[in-house]
Structure 1
Amino acid sequence: MNTPIIKRVFQLKISDLINIILFIIVLPFLILLLQFVLYTVIIPLNISCEYVALVYEKPTISGMFFSNYIHSVSDMSHFTNNFWVTVLVMGIISGMIFIVMPAYEIKISWKNVFGVFFIFLFILPFIISATTMYFKKAMIDSTWSFGFSGIISALLGFALFLILWWFFEVILKKNYNKNPNKITFSLLFVSIIVCLLPLWYMLSEIGGNANVFAHMMGYSFGLITPAFIGLIVLLYK
């Protein structure tokens, strides 16, 4: 079947393929590198955990940042699962940006994409850490926290944002003249339900081992940040 997506796949240039590969491997590679440094440098040298983990009683700037990119060395299966989820989600994001959106002539500004990832990778870690400290009493009894699930949740939110954007564009273009108000309302309703379902699931996990509030903050940021950046760009055009 000769769909727009299949056509786009066969139109991909070498530069597009390189960009897709970079999207998929760079962030997971950096996470692996930090985990390697944790094993080979930080632990053997007995570097104080407050510099790489979020210690509630003595938080540091570096700890608030790096705690969102390293993982517990005592649970490698959890780390492996999170690592492959990161690869998968980055694959979905790159597929939407380089294949699906162009196939339907939906333009994405590279400035917006870089802005989103800059906020995710360099600002969101501090927000997640602050959120974790604020809600620490609602979580399991612990004096510190680290893990990159919050960043993964943001990437999941961004992937969902791109999918919903594509869905809106395609459905509205095909059916807008039939009953625009009904279609717009239906799409908004479906989008709200789809966005809230993961949050509902995350709330059900409160009290367990997972840092639910980091997940919720990351996921919410992943949905809201690209929309907010897009709105600012539109206002200042």
Structure 2
Amino acid sequence: MSCVIYLDSIEKKEALNKISEYLHFEIVKKVPVKGAFLDIKDNGLCFTLNSENPSNYLNIDFLSGSMGWRLKRADHERLLKKTLGKNIDTLTIFDGTAGFLSDAMIFLAQGHKIIACEQSKIVYLLVKDALARAKGKIPYLQNLEFLNDNSIEAFKKLNNIDLVYLDPMYPETKKKALGSGNINSIKNILEIEKIENKGDLLFYDFKKLHYKKIVLKRPIKANKIDLNINYQVKGKSTRYDIYI
């Protein structure tokens, strides 16, 4: 699977050249007839998996849609609040599986500082573009540091992290083989970039390091991948296994 960058306007050339240099992807001036491509639309940087279905594309938006709605009611995200414990102080949280910052943004909205790490360059650029569009409109973004790196290597360079948050891609089941749109997008992007999805193995890598607390997000019925759980926070479809 390959990906190109589609340039449809000279006004976008400078921005797309920078993206091309970062990703080492070819820029094309004709609409791709097959495969995946990145382009800049009116709503920002977009990723289209299948050029034969150009209306189905991925664009990150923190100001509207489902993510905008979640941020407006961040205080109602009680499960995520419970995972942090009863401590009301501001925490420094390392999100080792940043993805589209779905949960990291909630932690930010609840008053915490976040260092989020994403290994995919494509996902990183899509999210960076969304953050740039939200700058000045979401004040707590100043408490976010967003990295494009291997999360284990990034974590080793840091000090005074109160909590490691991990949300690896859930094990695939037959019933959920199609998965959610976001999960499928990330899986395809990782394939394009030839990045290994370590899944649960990432948790074991973090367990070998010095940490204060790890919060591992899991499907409610998933097997425990480590029996030494200190406590759990459970919802209807999701649970959080906490290790101290």
Instruction: Identify, as 1 or 2, the structure richer in strand.
Output: 2
Do the two structures share a fold, i.e. TM-score over 0.5?
Answer: no
TM-score, length of structure 1 as denominator length: 0.28
Compare CA radii of gyration and give the structure with the larger one: 1
Instruction: Identify, as 1 or 2, the structure richer in helix.
Output: 1
- Select the structure with the greater relative contact order (CA < 8 A; seq sep ≥ 6): 1
